[in-house]
Each structure stands twice: as C-alpha cells, then as structure tokens.
Structure 1
C-alpha cells in the first residue's frame, strides 16, 4: 500500500506524451483536414448540447457540469491542453450511450464500458491518441487507487462504488504492476483527482465551448498523422470510412 500523495506524484512525461508535428500540406490536403477538424469539433459539442444535461451517473449534477468541472480542475492545476481536453472528454462514452438510446447500465449509473467506447469514438474523430488513451484508462485509475491506497474504496461516492463493481473491482497485483510500469500512468492518476474534484453541485456553471480553441488546435496534427497512417497501408484505417462518415454526417445538423 502507499499514500494517495505518493500515488499521485508527478513523474517526467517528456517521453510519455509527444504531440505530432503538423507536416506541410498542399492547399487541397489542408482543406480536407480543415473539414475533418470542423466536423469533429462540431460533432463533440453537439453531443454535449443534445445529451449533456442528463444526470451524471447518480451524482447531483449533469454530465456536462461534471465534465467541465473536471477540465477546469486540470486547468487550475497547470496541466497541458492535452490533459485538460482529456478531462473534458473523459466521459464522452456516456454521451454516446445516451445518443444511441441505451438504457443506463451498471446499476442505473451509466453506459457500461464507457471508457472504451469514448476512447474509440475520440480516436475515430481524429483526436490525439494521447487523449484517447487517457479517456480509456480513467476508470483504471479508480481501480488502481482502490487496490493501492488504504481506505480509498471506502471513501468513494455511492454511485462510484456501484460502478466499481461493474468495472472489475480493485486491480489485481498484476494489473497494478503493469500500470506502474507505464510512464503515462501518473497523469492518469492525476486525472482521477480532477475527476473527483468535478462533482461540486454549487460550482459556477461554464460551458464545454470554453475549450473549443484548444480542441481545434489539437486536432490538425493528429488528423494528418492518422490519415498518413491510413495512406501508408491498405490495412491501416484509424479514421475508418464509417467513423469519418459518422462525423461528416453532422456537418449540417450540429450546432
């Protein structure tokens, strides 16, 4: 066992998260990338605007309120734009479940496997893989802390305790060892701290749109990187035809 402060300690992330550089683009390619960026950004904000007012898995707030509070906590802590955006989008899988019309699972506390659904969705829209990674592993952070920090599980909210049982419970020793070996893991744990801070029903209301500029700035290089990967191999299509069409279908309808 370890203390919570030790578990959340910063570690050098210089080699853990590397943002791709945007290569020079022709006018035609730049126009295509701009269209994907615009469609993806509008797709994400449309999800919040259409479904974000839904209750946040048993907590006294909406999904949008929780997401924005989590992002603001990361921003206040001095995290990078990438980490702040991951905090904003970490529960987008719940919004995807609502859009699909799925009844809440996990004891009525949201979309099962929402972390994987959200990560797949973000990757399909061209978001940086680091953001998708953080989204995918934010549930694992809770499981890790329950396994390694004495008393942590007992301090979970009722809703978080319910979902834990549907998410695999505390990590096994082998899972903890694998997490400890990942240089990205300290940031995942810090995200959990911001996730917990984002549950204040009395916090001043702000909007996901407050983060639109950094979101649009993060997209072009990762979109180009994924499209380049797709062009390099007939077997590689990180931006699948289905996903691209799914994003583009909202160009006229997203607000």
Structure 2
C-alpha cells in the first residue's frame, strides 16, 4: 500500500489517541512532545520529523494493543520504514529505524541510563534484545545517523509527561512538507 503524507497524518489523528503502551500519555501526545523537544533544541526539520514519526509503526500493525504485555516485540522501528522511505530521505527514516538500538546503546555506555527508563521501557528493552555488549555498542555508534538516533531516543524517553503543552499536529505539517522527497 502506498501512503501519502495526508494518509500518515490521518493515521496519527485517528489512532494517535490510543494510550502509549502503559505510559500516561497517548501515542499522539508522545509524538508531539518528542517533536517539540527537537524543535525547541533548534534541530533540523528532518530530525523534528523523525521525532514526530518515530513510533508510527505502533499505529500501523494489526497485532492489537498491549503487545509488549504479551511478550511480543512489535518491531515498530522497522514497520514504518517501508511507508516512510517512499516519502522521506534517510535523514528522517534512519534515526527512526535506529531509535530502539539507540536505547540498547545508551544502556551499554551510560550506567545511569537504565535507572532513568520507565518500567514500560525497561520491559520493552528486554523484548528488543537487551543491553548491547561493548562491541555492539561501538559498532552501532559508527553507523550513519546513529548519533541522531541517540538524540531522538533521549527525547523519546522524556516525551511521556501527562498534559504537557505542545503545538498541535498541524504545527508540524509545514516541517514535514519541507522534508518530503
């Protein structure tokens, strides 16, 4: 199926009200918070777009809700790539593809990072392969867009604040449009 930006925005609007796992925010609130953090840091339109769309894979699978509670890794970081790669460059899609591995990386290189994770994020980390070995961490960070994925991951972890003030989805449409292929 071919997706347009309008279709992706429709998915975010229609399905974004669903709870973000067992976190205290919805999928859309989480996406908007993550993108707002990137925008507030004066990052590129591509990284802001990646932050907004990084969890789209959760919204386009048919595995049902609470898949992590059932011990399933929905591999959301990969599910959205075929959809997004037809619309956006690797500067948008690669940080998305790598953001789960970035969590594994941060746990390997920062001894305090694990303690900062929510219980939900700790559980999903185990489903996603656990903490990288030192060798895997060194290989990960050498990949193109790995540093952007790590920054996305940091904002991803911070974007779980109930009722945080953010711009609405329409605010980010011009940014997404600037990134279209």
TM-score over 0.5 for the alignment? yes
Aligned with 1:57: secondary structure?
coil
1:188-239, Cα deviation, whole Å (9 max, x unpaired): 11111211221111312532221111212211xx2xxxxxxxxxxxxxxxxx
Compared CA separation, residues 127 and 177, structure 1 to 2 (3 A):
same
- Residue 203 of structure 1 aligns with which residue? 164
**Structure 2 unaligned runs (5+)?**
none
Query: Which of 13, 18, 23 is matched with 1:59 structurally?
Result: 23
Compared CA separation, residues 119 and 102, structure 1 to 2 (3 A):
same
Compared CA separation, residues 218 and 193, structure 1 to 2 (3 A):
same
TM alignment of 1:9-24, pairs within 5 A: none
TM-score using structure 1 length: 0.66
**2:16 corresponds to 1:71:** no
The structure with more radius of gyration:
1
TM-score using structure 2 length: 0.91
Contact 2:31 2:55 in 1 (8 A): yes
Contact 1:109 1:162 in 2 (8 A): no
**2:175 corresponds to 1:214:** yes
Aligned with 2:111: secondary structure?
coil
**2:5 corresponds to 1:41:** yes
Contact 2:104 2:132 in 1 (8 A): yes
- Residue 84 of structure 2 aligns with which residue? 122
1:2-51, Cα deviation, whole Å (9 max, x unpaired): xxxxxxxxxxxxxxxxxxxxxxxxxxxxxxxxxx9xx6111111101110
**Structure 1 unaligned runs (5+)?**
1-35, 223-255
Structure 1 residue runs of 4+, over 6 Å off? none
Compared CA separation, residues 50 and 66, structure 1 to 2 (3 A):
same
RMSD of the alignment, in Å? 2.0
Aligned residues: 180
